[in-house]
Amino acid sequence: MQEFNAATHRIETASSPVALSAASGTGASKPYAAYIGLDVHKETIAVAVAEPGRGEPIYRGEIANTPKKIEKLLAQLSEAYGGGVLLFCYEAGPCGYGLYRQLIGSGHDCQVVAPSLIPKKAGERIKTDRRDALKLARLLRSGDLTAVWIPDQEQERMRDLSRARDDLKAQERKARQQLNAFLLRHGQHWPKGKSRWTPAHEHWLAGLKLDDPWQQVVLQTYIDAERAAGERVAQITDQLMRALPEWSLAPVVDSLVALRGIDKLAAIVLLAELGDISRFDSPKQLMAFLGLVPSEHSSGGRRRQGAITLTGNSHARRMLVESAWSYRFPARQTKHLKAKAVHASPEAKRIAWKAQVRLCGRYRTMTRAGKNTKLVCVAIARELAGFLWDIVRQEMPRLTPAQTPMTRA
């Protein structure tokens, strides 16, 4: 089995389409009776059909975005094309994957395509639903669209729980910022050097008294809002942990926590966002998919690289960068690391120790060279993604067929 070697690994470029298509699959690889482009909105779907060959696509109008109307459209198209298999496509967006699952369930094929990778003509200025549907049908037939990876319902459930927790944490941070700003305006502040949001800090907040009774009301409102936000975070975290044992990737979570900087929540976020990471053929593809590789603008014999591309999944990228911060300390096997990796496989522990030795050394070397700590964390996160890929590649074959998640290109 291929193993990630950070010392010899070289990033070629930034936003390689190959890296993105590794997570999905591109184009129409087999003949279909027809190619249907769908411009999907909350209330309506614009439909265009391209038949095999070189003829221009035909616009079939709009239908309501409801399961019954979609079922009726499928019946009409199946009858028109002799019951042959049809290939549909629509752009990834806020409407989710319900339409995709309905089309797949009807016996046809469907691709959900990446909007940012749809080819555009220079000077194209007119955009309508009709034009978008016709364009999708034409490009689908020619194989010029890049599909995104579609999570199954189990995977989507974990991702929804994980993102809900992220949203509630953001609300908690906002509530705390508002409370701190109010206290600062009125000359109240927690002693420097002491940790906030501890039981001692909560006791101090409860004992604060302001001279003006109406300002006291405002203070109590901010305190109550912060506590309520914290309770919501605790509740969703509890629900996330209760859902974990039912997840097919739960054994992989147990192995990922062997990595320094990756606790159970971080492992859940990464796997919930990325799914089966072993679908990437190399760590380089995963790094590019996460937007952690440098952008590039080269011409002739001149090679210029810039900031990271920031493409792909921002939730997973942020989690990796946060985890990279823990590698600022020397490599060592602490009681905490051993305890959290108790259920990890021996191979995962071996890779995790190799990662710790490599990345802790890299962090010290780069900071001593005067590199900005933020840039150092991004560089560490990029290599950490490689070790993450390596552990998942080792662990996925150990899952039983019932545990292995269904993936579809």
- Domain of residue 36, CATH code: 3.30.420.140
Q: Does 1 fall in a domain?
A: no
Q: What is the pLDDT of residue 12?
A: 44
Task: Output the six-digit token pair for 227.
Answer: 């506590």
Both 230 and 298 in a single domain? no
Both 201 and 286 in a single domain? no
Q: Does 368 fall in a domain?
A: yes
Model pLDDT for residues 25-47, shown as the tens digit of each residue: 344 556 899 999 999 999 999 99
How far, in Å, are 44, 173, 286, 365 from residue 351 at the CA level? 50, 35, 17, 21
Model pLDDT for residues 81-109, shown as the tens digit of each residue: 999 999 999 999 999 999 999 999 999 99
Rounded to two decimals, the pTM is: 0.84
**pLDDT for residue 18 is more than 80:** no
Tell me the β-bridge partners of 50. Answer: 35
Both 339 and 371 in a single domain? yes
Q: Which of 200, 231, 246 is the last residue of a domain?
A: 246
More confident of the two residues 30 and 193: 193
Q: Which of 213, 246, 279 is the last residue of a domain?
A: 246
Both 389 and 253 in a single domain? yes
Phi–psi pair at 306, nearest 5 degrees: -120, -150
Would you call 377 helix, strand, or coil by DSSP?
Answer: helix
User: Which residue has 């590199």 as its token pair?
Assistant: 371
Which among 180, 186, 174, 184 is positioned nearest to 215, based on CA atoms? 186
Q: What is the pLDDT of residue 311?
A: 87
Q: Does 10 fall in a domain?
A: no
Tell me what the mean pLDDT of segment 42-67 comes to. 96
Ordered alpha helix ranges (H), 106-249: 129-142, 153-185, 199-206, 213-243
* CA dist., res. 141 & res. 118, Å (int): 13
Both 367 and 266 in a single domain? yes
Q: What is the pLDDT of residue 186?
A: 94
Q: Does 267 fall in a domain?
A: yes
Task: Output the six-digit token pair for 141.
Answer: 């037939």
User: Which residue has 């038949």 as its token pair?
Assistant: 51
Q: What is the pLDDT of residue 10?
A: 47
Q: Does 15 fall in a domain?
A: no
* CA dist., res. 359 & res. 341, Å (int): 18
**pLDDT for residue 16 is more than 60:** no
Q: How confident is the model at residue 298 (pLDDT cuts 50, 70, 90)?
A: confident
Model pLDDT for residues 149-181, shown as the tens digit of each residue: 999 999 999 999 999 999 999 999 999 999 999
- Structural domain count of the chain: 3
Both 366 and 224 in a single domain? no
Q: What is the pLDDT of residue 161?
A: 97
The domain of 162 spans 153-246
Both 226 and 262 in a single domain? no
H-run or E-run covering 294: strand 294-296
Model pLDDT for residues 334-392, shown as the tens digit of each residue: 999 999 999 999 999 999 999 999 999 999 999 999 999 999 999 999 999 999 999 99
Both 252 and 394 in a single domain? yes
The least confident of 39-53, 253-267, 288-302 is 288-302
Sign of the torsion formed by the C-alpha atoms of 77, 79, 81 and 86: positive
Q: Does 312 fall in a domain?
A: yes
* CA dist., res. 46 & res. 64, Å (int): 9
Phi–psi pair at 26, nearest 5 degrees: -130, 150
Both 192 and 279 in a single domain? no
Cβ-in-10-Å burial (0-12, 13-18, 19+) of 95 comes to middle
Q: Does 327 fall in a domain?
A: yes
* CA dist., res. 41 & res. 133, Å (int): 12
Percentage above 70 pLDDT, the chain: 90
Phi-psi region of 291 (alpha: psi -120 to 50; beta: other; left: phi over 0): left
Q: Does 3 fall in a domain?
A: no
On average, the pLDDT of the chain sits at: 90
**pLDDT for residue 3 is more than 70:** no
Percentage above 90 pLDDT, the chain: 80
More confident of the two residues 196 and 299: 196
Q: Which of 246, 274, 297 is the last residue of a domain?
A: 246
Both 280 and 376 in a single domain? yes
Q: What is the pLDDT of residue 14?
A: 38
How far, in Å, are 126, 127, 132 from residue 123 at the CA level? 9, 12, 15
Which among 138, 135, 131, 129 is positioned nearest to 44, based on CA atoms? 129
Contacts of 219 (CB under 8 A, 6+ apart): 182, 183, 208, 210
